[in-house]
Structure 1
Amino acid sequence: MPADPFRYRSPDEDSARWLGFPFRTGDIVISTRSKSGTTWMQMICALLVFRTPDLPAPLSRLSPWLDWLVEPRDEVVARLAAQEHRRFVKTHTPLDGVPLDPRATYVVVARHPLDMAVSLYHQARNLDRERMHELTGQPVGPTGPRRPLPEWLGRWVDREVDPRAELDSLPGVLWHLTDAWRRRDQPHVVLVHYADLLADLAGEMRRLADRLGFDVPERDWPDLVDAATFGRMRERADQLAPDPAGVLRSRAAFFRAGTSGQGRASLDPAVLARYQARVAALAPPDLLAWLHR
């Protein structure tokens, strides 16, 4: 029998909220690290499900974050139970922390860890921590001035932490991705690279449609792909930003850049060398070759 899922907890998440979740045939679970393309993948799935850019509700209502402590679990599950369309649910939990139900497909999006960290750095300034504390009752981290990005990023590279306790650390990112990489040949697991979405959005959306079993008429593709571009999504930040409880200071700022390469460009050669040494000790070489290409 499969092992019970590992329980991941943080001040605003608890993966135990997945236990007992009533899966349906065709459910899609989107499993990503923070700032690694979660909202982008949710939008792509929404476009494939509804086959129109005109979504019937805000994206965070259509695709809720089940682990998030900000919303009562019973309310989230009831909302999902009421949905008649094919469901697509967000999580930041690695696949070893959610039930792996044969009726569901699990989509894991990977991003270069340094680029993910840069986005995480900027996102921290956009969070209303008082609002998060009000909603969860938990401490939500420091609120003082932050170090300059290169210094902060260098410290992020060097931090030694328990990957299961600090999932947005470098060890945590590679823990999440290594677990998915080892499952990549399973028919119900799909890996997507953020850089591939940037390089060939139309091709990746077609690949996902094929893997997820969506039959999209050819005439619909141009509008769907256009609606999934970063610029179009930023134009619709009020509807698409993941902010059902008002924890973002600016929804538009959530869609900051959507690019690759800023992380490497922010570090000097010595720190980059330390990064390469650290990741080599944290993840298998075939995953790293795919992740860094």
Structure 2
Amino acid sequence: MDSARWQGFPFRPGDIVISTPAKCGTTWTQTICALLIFQTPELPGRLDDITIWPDMKTRSQADVFAFYEAQQHRRIIKTHTPFDGLPIHDEVTYIAVGRDPRDVALSWDAHFQNTDYDVVLALRDAAVGNDDLTGDLTDDAPPQLESEYDRFWAWIDHPDVQIGLPSMLHHLSGFWAERERPNVLLLHYDELKADLAGQMKALASHLGIEVPQDRWPELVQAATFDSMRKRAAEFAPMLAMWRDPQQFFNSGVSGQWRRLLDDEDLRRYAERVEKMAAPDLADWLHRPR
């Protein structure tokens, strides 16, 4: 990823930038926004034909700009760049999604195991070349340890700017500080799970999108986790890079960390969070279910 690729991006009024830490519901939010814009479960193409990721170096910057320039509908733009790395425009809406970091750690673990990095490297080589890479592709990822428990703690302690708890909390801290802006919206993964219809209607209102009442049931159904998983070939991003596209939508379950962590682990985890996140942000992320 390279956030410098945002430089010169030709924004339009009404653009929607979905900026989340990885594994916090990025594809889910892209799908919801697409459903609201087109107001039908049958989108005009795969999700990748509607919304892509400028930062990801598997397409050239010129191709990304041309992709969005050609669109005539309201545009949805994906990124994992935090607020402090984005161009900010008053006429653009910025959406961030938070999630319990303990769930994110386990979701990232499944994501990492499912990625075919030979395909990623081939796409990157075709787009921008790989001559700038040094060492192994996984050098900047949490080490692939035998134990799920050890991999969890590797993610919690990982200092990288794109992967791990420090990165996630930096990202959400930036949006948390700007949450009173009228063009910034914070969603929570567990609220989407608990009341998808209500959250979609609130998002439509925030975006100024009117949806006929009779269309809501089919739009909400299309945005459920089970529906997206069944239609993984349509909704999984960069389809070729997954060993199993349906596994991109791994489980969508919150609270799996309970089977892994004991009371001492939770104290250790809380100490890490306390050093990197404001108490009100931490409370919001870890809201009881």
Do the two structures share a fold, i.e. TM-score over 0.5? yes
Deviations 1:156-204 (A, max 9, x none): 3244x2xxx4232111110000000000000010000000001000010
User: Cα gap change, 1:145/1:24 in structure 2, threshold over 3 Å: closer, same or farther?
Assistant: closer
Q: Choose which of 13, 16, 26 in structure 2 pairs with 1:25.
A: 13
Which residue of structure 2 lines up, in the alignment, with residue 287 of structure 1? 281
Q: Choose which of 216, 222, 243 in structure 1 pairs with 2:217.
A: 222
Tell me how far apart the structure 2 counterparts of residues 126 and 194 of structure 1 sit (CA, whole Å).
22
Q: Does the aligned pair in 2 maintain the 1:17–1:73 contact within 8 Å? A: yes
User: What does residue range 169-188 of structure 1 map to in structure 2 within 5 Å?
Assistant: 169-188=164-183
Tell me how far apart the structure 1 counterparts of residues 174 and 272 of structure 2 sit (CA, whole Å).
18
- Equivalent pairs: percent with the same residue? 46
Deviations 1:89-147 (A, max 9, x none): 00010011110011210000111111011010011111111122223223420699642
Q: Secondary structure at the match of 1:35?
A: coil
Q: Choose which of 5, 16, 19 in structure 1 pairs with 2:4.
A: 16
Which residue of structure 2 lines up, in the alignment, with residue 151 of structure 1? 150
User: What does residue range 262-281 of structure 1 map to in structure 2 within 5 Å?
Assistant: 262-281=256-275
Q: Does the aligned pair in 1 maintain the 2:155–2:163 contact within 8 Å? A: no
Which residue of structure 2 lines up, in the alignment, with residue 50 of structure 1? 38
Tell me how far apart the structure 2 counterparts of residues 210 and 291 of structure 1 sit (CA, whole Å).
23
1:212 aligns with 2:200: no
Which residue of structure 1 lines up, in the alignment, with residue 127 of structure 2? none
Q: Secondary structure at the match of 1:125?
A: helix
Report the TM-score when normalising by structure 1.
Answer: 0.91
User: What does residue range 231-250 of structure 1 map to in structure 2 within 5 Å?
Assistant: 231-243=226-238, 246-250=240-244
Q: Which runs of no fewer than 5 residues in structure 2 stay unpaired? A: 125-129
Tell me how far apart the structure 2 counterparts of residues 35 and 157 of structure 1 sit (CA, whole Å).
14
Q: CA deviation at 1:274?
A: 0.6
Which residue of structure 2 lines up, in the alignment, with residue 86 of structure 1? 74
Tell me how far apart the structure 2 counterparts of residues 280 and 177 of structure 1 sit (CA, whole Å).
14
Q: CA deviation at 1:265?
A: 3.0
Q: Does the aligned pair in 2 maintain the 1:154–1:267 contact within 8 Å? A: no
Tell me how far apart the structure 1 counterparts of residues 21 and 49 of structure 2 sit (CA, whole Å).
20
Q: Does the aligned pair in 2 maintain the 1:198–1:259 contact within 8 Å? A: no
User: Cα gap change, 1:237/1:268 in structure 2, threshold over 3 Å: closer, same or farther?
Assistant: same
Which residue of structure 2 lines up, in the alignment, with residue 10 of structure 1? none
Deviations 1:218-260 (A, max 9, x none): 111000000000000011000100015x211111110110111
Tell me how far apart the structure 1 counterparts of residues 87 and 40 of structure 2 sit (CA, whole Å).
31
Q: Which runs of no fewer than 5 residues in structure 1 stay unpaired? A: 1-12
Q: CA deviation at 1:207?
A: 0.7
Report the TM-score when normalising by structure 2.
Answer: 0.92
User: Cα gap change, 1:153/1:192 in structure 2, threshold over 3 Å: closer, same or farther?
Assistant: same
Tell me how far apart the structure 2 counterparts of residues 146 and 133 of structure 1 sit (CA, whole Å).
22
